[in-house]
Structure 1
Amino acid sequence: MSSRNGCGCFCGCICSCIGSLIGVAFIVLIYWAIFQPHHIRATVESATLTNLTVVSSTTAAVSYNLTVTLSFYNPSLRVNIYYDAIAAELRFRDAVLGPAANSTSPSSEFLQRRKSSDDVRLQFGYGGGVAVAGDVGGELEKEIKGGGPVGLELDVDLRVRYVLRIFKVRQKPRVWCQLSIPVKTEGPGPGVGGAVAPGDRCTVKY
């Protein structure tokens, strides 16, 4: 009798474990099927740079104004996306040239419905200058004087919620966009500026 009872308990434990594994596998499958194949896509719709100047010394000061419009696309047929927060930084050779203004257009909190695109405008206003290392300022100054495009990187951190009825999944995707902006002298002053055409694809990592 004790042997039978022990066998029954053992079989019950095995069945319970198998049931739990099947439940977990089902949840993972649902998560993958609904959310994973439908990552956000991002492209640069426009970028306008004005008054870019570099004053070099031991430390350099970079002045500029930049407006970037990004298009975020939700490819899912079933899932809406709530954007809870958007934070962006502009970089040059890994050196931070400053965060975007707190105000974005539309608001950093908005709903994106299925199979739809929304544009978000980011503004960087640093007419007073941003302090960077002297070698970084020197490299940027070389690009400006070289006559080619200036290469900048836009780093955007998102906090989003994927929502399908009662199911909600929170994610923190990171968007990285390469901005290659051809610049030319603006008027009589030392500043340069330029703009890029739409269509450059950004990298989105989860």
Structure 2
Amino acid sequence: GLDISGTAIANDFCLPAGEARDKTLAHTRKWIDYAALMGAPVIRIFAGTVPQGDSDDAAIERCAAGINEALDHAAKKGVCLALENHGGITTRPEQMLKIVGKVKESAWFGVNFDGGNFRSEDPYADLAKIAPYAINVQLKADIYRNNVREDTDFAKVIKILANAGYRGYIVLEYESAEDPKTGVPRHLETLRKLVDAV
């Protein structure tokens, strides 16, 4: 049979109170229902972007409140919410971990560890900071150091995950220039060998 590792939505929990925020919360609940229907254990969520003229702290508070509200519905449906490091207010691991720290403790919440989204001087160090909270992993063949593309050191990333005790799905999210017909099988073979060796 087909094993579904999870699904994903686009949402913005940094939005202030109002119609747009209500819509994003309703959209999140709807997709939690869809995930449960598919048997997907995890739904990837975004934090969002700080509105112009707003403060990071206020947006972080609203983001955590939005996650907490959605989390009640997710727990009832048996679906985990996984917050991805995906730009916006989660561009830096420190900001992301502030959000994680304000979400109520729950077996139904954690981090969607995206191996290609931090673009700092040391993206591997940033990934190590969020790895202990990972409940889902998506890796890319490309990583960015100071916004300059380089090949992902999959061995280093798998070691980071192993050191954090991660035991869940590892998904290859392929966005590279190489033809996926050759790139995907090659990277999957590498990842399988690395995971089997842990």
| Larger fraction in strand | 1
Asked if Structure 1 and Structure 2 have the same fold, meaning a TM-score greater than 0.5 normalized by the shorter chain, the answer is no
Give the structure with the higher percent helix.
Answer: 2
Larger RCO (CA under 8 A, 6+ residues apart): 1
TM-score between the two structures when normalised by the length of structure 2: 0.22
